[in-house]
Amino acid sequence: MKIEAASLGPFETNAYLLSSDDGKECIVIDAPQGAAAKLLPLIKDRGLKLTHLLLTHGHWDHMCEAHAFAAAGAKVLAHRADRELIENIEAYKDRYLAMLPELSDADFKSVKVTTWLEEGSTFVAAGKAFETRHVPGHCPGSLLFSCASEQVAFCGDAIFRGSVGRTDLPNGNWNELLTSIRTRIYTLPNETVLYPGHGGRTTVGHEKQTNPYAKP
Ligand SMILES: [Zn+2]
Ligand SMILES: [Zn+2]
């Protein structure tokens, strides 16, 4: 499986494009502002079939262009706890506009989720088996997508290289985040490469040893 990252939008949010080894299918993880313009032409040029869009959580900067990937044929997968944020993004417009006044109506389009995932949900995408872990704390519907055969996991804003997700946003919870990291991220094999929602990649072992916020 080939993994490509693009850091996009006002918060430099990572979108990931994962392509199958046979070069036929692909999936996208998260849909920040600019992701559709960047990735959809690439997917088309390469003749890839886009099958899924996985959402790590419902915050605007990770899902605002999900509608464009759904329109391009992707099944949208997310956690039900973030249903309002994802399927009724218009209701949160004022809150986001207060932070980013330069946004326009076009930046607020809801998307219908095809399948709700929960802790332990499994699925096959880009030719590989994935396992879902529910990692709330930064956001109630935060998910981690683990692909054991590739020793990689996509962890959204739960943990970053040398840091962890904020818990001061609405419905954030510090104790819940620490529990998620300790019981559902630090229990992955040490060599697992973590691809976060912002910044560069790291490994489970590196964070267990050095992360100043989340000790094992
Ligand atoms: Zn977030
Ligand atoms: Zn984020």
Q: pLDDT by residue (tens digit) across 151-196?
A: 999 999 999 999 999 999 989 999 999 999 999 999 999 999 999 9
Q: Contact 181/135 with Cβ under 8 angstroms?
A: yes
The answer for residues whose C-beta is within 8 angstroms of residue 71's C-beta and 6 or more apart is none
Helix ranges (DSSP H) in 14-120: 35-45, 60-63, 66-71, 83-87, 93-99
- A 10 A CB-CB count for 191 gives 10
Q: Contact 12/202 with Cβ under 8 angstroms?
A: no
C-alpha of residue 47 to centroid of ligand 2, in Å: 30
Q: How confident is the model at residue 200 (pLDDT cuts 50, 70, 90)?
A: very high
Residue 150 DSSP SS3: helix
Tell me the two tokens of residue 210.
């050095």
Q: Which residues surround ligand 1, an ion (CB under 5 A)?
A: 59, 157
Assign a CATH topology to domain 2-210: Metallo-beta-lactamase; Chain A (3.60.15)
Q: pLDDT by residue (tens digit) across 59-94?
A: 999 999 999 999 999 999 999 999 999 999 999 999
Ligand nearest to the CA of 172: 1
pTM over 0.75: yes
Neighbour-count burial of 102, counting CB atoms closer than 10 A to its CB (0-12 exposed, 13-18 middle, 19+ buried): exposed
C-alpha of residue 157 to centroid of ligand 1, in Å: 5
Q: pLDDT by residue (tens digit) across 8-36?
A: 999 999 999 999 999 999 999 999 999 99
C-alpha of residue 143 to centroid of ligand 2, in Å: 13
Neighbour-count burial of 72, counting CB atoms closer than 10 A to its CB (0-12 exposed, 13-18 middle, 19+ buried): middle
Backbone angles phi, psi at 196, to 5 degrees: -90, 175
Cα-atom radius of gyration of the chain, to the nearest Å? 16
Indicate the domain borders of the chain: 2-210
C-alpha of residue 57 to centroid of ligand 2, in Å: 9
Tell me the two tokens of residue 139.
């956001």
DSSP 8-state code for residue 56: S
